[in-house]
Chains A and B, each alone.
Chain A
Amino acid sequence: MMLAALASSLEGLFADDGLRPRQKVAAIIFSVTLLVVVVELVRRRKLREEYSVLWIVTAIGLLLLAWQYRLLTVFQQLFGIVEPQFALFFGALLFLVLIALQFSVRLSKLTYRNKFLTQRVALLHQEIEELRSRIEPDSASDPREEEP
């Protein structure tokens, strides 16, 4: 009984689908795993919330596309894609491009800040050395010796 019910509901899941069952199951498992991993990383504070947004949207988007064939058809028609499998890939790719772009922008910003801070450290270090050598003239040291 149980098995029959499960089988019929599974049949419903795969009814008039352009994706093969295996493809569909794989895509759903993949997107659910991704979602769980991203949420877990946020929970452990290993991933900042701001970066999790695009990842979660990607995982949910992929899940919906794999699960709801009608959505995938709309997506297919939007981009003129013939193969539903490719539509799935294309959807994932689209999000990955966005994520990569977001990272590049972040990196650029961090590079600016890193430069600014490094310059500031160099200036402050010199100022400290100068002040120190005024107080105790023999203590001026080579900053390179103090590197960790």
Chain B
Amino acid sequence: MSGPTVILIPACNEAERIGPVLDGIREHAPGAVTVVVDDGSRDGTAWVARERGAVVLSHPFNLGYGAALQTGYHYARRRGADRLVQLDADGQHDPASIPDLLAALDAGADLVLGSRFLRPEDTPRTSMLRRSASRMFAWIVTWWTHVEVTDPTSGFQALGSRALELLVLDMFPDDYPDADMLITAARAGLKLDEVPARMHERVGGVSMHRGSRAAYYMFKMLLNLALLPVRRPSPFRGGRAVAAERATQRGQTARAG
């Protein structure tokens, strides 16, 4: 493992909850670079994060959960990191599970999911609806990738360098990367794995998945899954821009060296 390990936390208006999460990360992943992507917060999230020694990347306005993650992926790649763990800023994901995810990465996986359903004691109370939706996506992913997946909507993930390379492409969604991204990753030849991870119920704040947004989310997911086999890369090709930049950086390093 040559590069640093990055712990990535996308955050929007989480100033009151992110502090303990960052403390937990310092305790459980001492050598890692902690990156908080502040996705247009208006409550001083960036300040709290910076106070606790995190690298802060600030979006001037809200772009969405997925876009915030991707900013972090870009950062990790610029830093040459080959291991990244992402968790939510609201304290749902227990930093104590970070070493487990990293261990699975070191064992050869490219993308590791932290699952709340593998151990009964990790499972927080959730609504029937959310649970059955989660089950359905788990079934679809398992059927498609032939990897036993129980918690495809988990935002608690570890990514290796091959996964990072894939996920900075512009097909990565702005809002919620989930089942469809897992399948895309598996189709691209990445090795998926899942380990048990401890999760807590949200304390305060609002869930990302609620009301009409949840309905849109279901629609988007089904549309994406249906289009997956016939999808082309987007016309914008941010991936090409990324590749070009990488080539430039390589050139600069070569000249410097």
Binding site for B on A (CB under 8 A): 109, 111-113, 115-116, 118-123, 125-126, 130, 140, 142-144, 147
Contacts and interface: CB of A to CB of B under 8 A. Distances in A.
24 contacts: A112-B238, A113-B236, A115-B63, A116-B236, A119-B59, A119-B63, A119-B70, A119-B74, A122-B58, A122-B59, A122-B60, A122-B71, A123-B71, A125-B57, A125-B58, A126-B56, A126-B57, A126-B58, A126-B75, A143-B46, A143-B56, A143-B58, A144-B44, A144-B47
B185 interface: no
A123 B79 CA distance: 11
A123 B75 contact: yes
B248 interface: no
B57 A122 contact: yes
Nearest to A116: B238
A120 B170 CA distance: 13
B235 interface: yes
Interface of B is mostly: mixed
A143 B55 CA distance: 12
A144 B46 contact: yes
A135 B75 CA distance: 21
B171 to A, nearest CB: 10
Nearest to A130: B55
B46 A142 contact: yes
B63 A123 contact: no
B236 A142 contact: no
Contacts of B238: 112, 116
A109 B235 CA distance: 7
B59 A118 contact: yes
